[in-house]
Chain A
């Protein structure tokens, strides 16, 4: 469903335009219906990989595909829902208008948008606040509005960049329930997180990336079969890589 094939990406940094490697030959496949947890320390390259999937940045080498379509084809995004890390939306729009936009841009009819947005706003507990401008929302509410926007067109692939960030325990449980629901519906979910307990709980498969290189990938059951905790596996891989901070 999602495939990275030999993706490398460098960025120029500072006035000297020093080249910094963000991704180094990333190859990874995620099958349909899998919940994939992408783990790594800050600056490991998780968000870079996600942005390549969304065609927000272009790889220097390699190719990324979703449903065997190149991510450069905008039609791929008909099947994809995306929640960015710390999302920002238009200050003066309401959650209802935000979802109207998401639905329209995804080719939905007015009737479909009305039905789906009512359902989603209820699910993310924003139904009462749906007519309030987004600038009056708390960080957690913005995050939940972003999740509803990502799901408005009922995508087959859901990409979540740190979806639990800024959420209180109730919000985290709500997002967790939605991820499990998506799993039940056979959707593919690719999410990055720092919260290892969440990854352990929701994911079928895990990838650990450090310094732009994918250090380890496998099913959660496989990785933890020796009785190790995911935290131990994660720290071992990070230490083995010498914690090379990249991006």
Chain B
């Protein structure tokens, strides 16, 4: 930990001072302002739309943060050979990787906390203007949703570290991370579809079913972390689901980072 902290801290500082953060924050603010406008235009279900939009704004901005800042913090070290300055110190490759990941995790938590506060403020103001539409509104559910989004983004960041450990450029890491995110978000629905194709009147080959089932166990199921619908409709989320999702996220991150560490240990930096 003594060695991880300096690496984490410079990673965090480098990330938080990156100008891309301003752009992402501005986009998030615009989306939250749009939330006011859209809510005012709605004649019904204002509460549900407002919650859905606020959570989507935080989730989308967070994803941009991981893709455009988080990936660069790791992959650019390899592209630009900044890694030399770290590995020339008495730091092992595993410590470097864990320190960087800790720094990116701190960055995600700090930025998501700020974005969530803005989103919560927008919901609070819309709720003040339309109290009748917020009968089933629940702050704990909204906060839980923010926390799940944060955990999901940390998982996506861990995936980007795994990809950076074996790819040669930050661009390939970027592409692989986006693909994994898209697959992870759609996996649940696609699996349900290919396993019961008759429900929508289509036929699916057994090979496709096997491929999707295999992907289901390899790629992270990011839809587990998405409880926007429950938060928007004020539907309760069971404690066992919360424990399951947190456990799934932590175990997946641990496996991914262990794999990244094993690959990174052998990696050369010519």
Contacts and interface: CB of A to CB of B under 8 A. Distances in A.
Interface stretch (A84-92, A196-204, A207-215): A84-92
A149 B270 contact: no
A75 interface: yes
Nearest to A150: B88
Contacts of A91: 14
Identify which of B2, B10, B17 gathers the most chain A CB atoms within 10 Å of its CB: B10
A82 interface: yes
B33 to A, nearest CB: 28
A77 B88 contact: yes
A14 to B, nearest CB: 13
A97 interface: yes
Contact of A92 (B9, B14, B87): B14
A57 interface: yes
A133 B91 CA distance: 24
Contacts of B7: 101, 105
Interface in B189-211: none
A183 interface: no
Interface stretch (A24-32, A47-55, A220-228, A238-246): A47-55
Contacts of A76: 90
Interface stretch (B78-86, B119-127, B150-158, B252-260): B78-86
Interface string A69-102: 0000011111011101001111111000110111
Contact of B270 (A57, A101, A105, A150): A57
B268 A105 contact: no
A104 B244 CA distance: 38
Contact of A77 (B5, B81, B82, B89): B89
A39 B269 CA distance: 22
B105 to A, nearest CB: 18
Contact of B84 (A11, A54, A81, A100): A54
A119 interface: no
Contacts, number: 82
A88 B269 contact: no
B204 to A, nearest CB: 37
Interface residues of B, number: 26
Contacts of B10: 90, 93, 97, 101
A105 B152 CA distance: 30
Nearest to A94: B13
A84 B90 contact: no
A89 B82 contact: yes
B229 interface: no
B87 A56 contact: yes
A55 B90 CA distance: 11
Nearest to A54: B88
B92 interface: yes
Interface string B242-270: 00000000000000000000000000111
A74 B82 contact: no
A177 B57 CA distance: 56
25 contacts: A51-B269, A54-B84, A54-B88, A56-B87, A56-B268, A57-B269, A58-B268, A77-B89, A80-B88, A81-B88, A82-B88, A88-B80, A88-B81, A91-B14, A92-B17, A93-B10, A97-B13, A100-B6, A104-B5, A104-B6, A105-B6, A106-B89, A106-B90, A107-B2, A150-B88
Interface of B: 2-3, 5-7, 9-10, 13-14, 17-18, 80-82, 84-92, 268-270
